[in-house]
Amino acid sequence: MNTKIMVDTSIWIEFFRNENSQISNYLKSQLRYRQVVISGMILAEILQGIRSARELLLVKRSLESLPFIEIDKKVWQQAGEMSASLRKKGITIPLSDIIIGCSAIMEGYEIYTLDPHFEKIPNLKLHKPDRSH
């Protein structure tokens, strides 16, 4: 149970909207085990959807203690190259998802997501709750 998990925006949205869902309860357990990390791209995506000052405060408090993953030049380069390679194959994925995926690959993290785009990113390990316990 040592694998760190980069939790994608789609999971965080579920977590903040429905605190008693199966996904939210699972994420709570991973937070307790200190398995979860966050990157700047995910943080920015979450914050862009905030609707009120109260919600902003709640979200920022919830996320501030998570280990923060910086994205370095190698990740940016890999993301650009991967995006170009996928496009040549007719696969278009939002660059933000490719950046998140590349940073997870480089750091050896799994991605916990509801977004099917991540399934198309080569060498990315997706986190599946049913096999983590």
Q: What's the count of helices (H) and strands (E) in the chain, helices before strands?
A: 6, 5
Mean pLDDT over each residue of the chain, to the nearest integer = 93
Question: Whole-angstrom Cα distance, residue 99 to residue 72?
Answer: 11
In which domain, by residue range, is 25 found? 5-131
User: What is the per-residue pLDDT for 77?
Assistant: 98
User: What is the per-residue pLDDT for 132?
Assistant: 44
Tokens for 12? 């965080």
Tokens for 14? 């579920």
Question: Whole-angstrom Cα distance, residue 102 to residue 116?
Answer: 16
Among 49-58, 113-122, 123-132, whose mean pLDDT is lowest? 123-132
pLDDT digits (tens, 9 = 90+) for 76-118: 999 999 999 999 999 999 999 999 999 999 999 999 999 999 9
**For range 107-131, the mean pLDDT:** 93
- Work out the number of other CB atoms within 10 angstroms of the CB of residue 34: 11
User: What is the per-residue pLDDT for 3?
Assistant: 83
- Number of structural domains found in the chain: 1
Tokens for 118? 């991540």
pLDDT digits (tens, 9 = 90+) for 14-39: 999 998 999 999 999 999 999 999 99
**For range 8-12, the mean pLDDT:** 96
CATH number, domain of 62, equals 3.40.50.1010
